[in-house]
Amino acid sequence: MKEIAFIGVGIMGKSMVRNLMKAGFDLHIYARNVDKVRDVIAEGAKYYDSIKECVSGKEAVITIVGFPKDVEEVYFGEEGIIASSDQGTYLIDMTTTSPSLSEKIYKEGKKKGLRVLDAPVTGGEIGARDGILSILVGGDKEDYQALMPVFEAMGTNINYQGGAGCGQHAKMANQIMIAGTLSGVCEALAYGKAKGLNLDTLISSVKTGAAGSKQLDTFGPKIVADDMNPGFYLKHFVKDMGIAEEEAEESGLHLEILKKVLENYKKLEKEGLGDLGNQALIKYYE
């Protein structure tokens, strides 16, 4: 496999494109705003003005866009991915979206002889940049195995989760874990600040013990420095938690921590903080 079309060259996608090119793949990209991708074009990615032109004749198509409506648009538009891809093409949606939508793409793709996988990622901007993403894959196992060289160009923790939609369900579990853990980090730092503790010392003191976590390591120092720049947009986390809540309720689960954290994040989004990073949850306590 050599020729890959890539749609969704944003915070995460841009680094993933670069790592795929470093691994020897030829990258063909589509973006709504060409000015935002001129850097990767200069580095060797070939730009197209339409999805149809971008995906036609390619061996694989990778997408990582923002919201389920964006996934619907790029896959099911009149000149979208399913309509424009050649029979036998691998379609890999790495967006975090609803499992039911991933199942729909799989079913419609199979009707056209396409090989469809849902493969959401975790690891954020740093993981994408360093090529160490965790990739959670759903679909047919033989397709997962065939695409391993592609996945290995972008990540290091790559696991098959099951049939279509299972990658998304695994990502929902991941986001549920993050919601509770990051909320705990923010509450602890808000408490420490209110009691006059040196927050840098506090983080250093607890990070190697039972309270240590990836969320503390990643976001603790940013919170202390009031660095709210996004490695992952707050508005996208609201979207993810909303999907997780819906899926949980469909299974008769009442995930109270997730529900409360989602409410807090929605308040911040309404205040216009959606384009900040997840760590902006600390603003809820200020």
Give the separation between CA 279 and CA 268, rounded to whole angstroms.
11
Q: Which residues contact 115 (CB under 8 A, 6 or more apart)?
A: 88, 89, 90, 91, 109, 139, 140, 143
C-beta of residue 25 within 8 angstroms of C-beta of residue 19: no
Helix 256-270 and helix 166-194, axial crossing angle in degrees, nearest 10: 70
Q: Tokens 């529900």 sit at which residue? A: 259
Sign for the pseudo-dihedral over CA of 15, 77, 148, 97: positive
Ramachandran region, residue 125 (left: φ > 0; alpha: ψ -120 to 50; beta: rest): alpha
User: Has 171 been annotated as catalytic?
Assistant: yes
Which is the catalytic residue, given 14, 58, 104, 171? 171
C-beta of residue 65 within 8 angstroms of C-beta of residue 75: no
Give the separation between CA 259 and CA 263, rounded to whole angstroms.
6
Scored b (16 or more CB within 10 A) or e, 52-75 reads bebbbebbbbbbbbbebebbbebb
- The catalytic site residues sit at 171
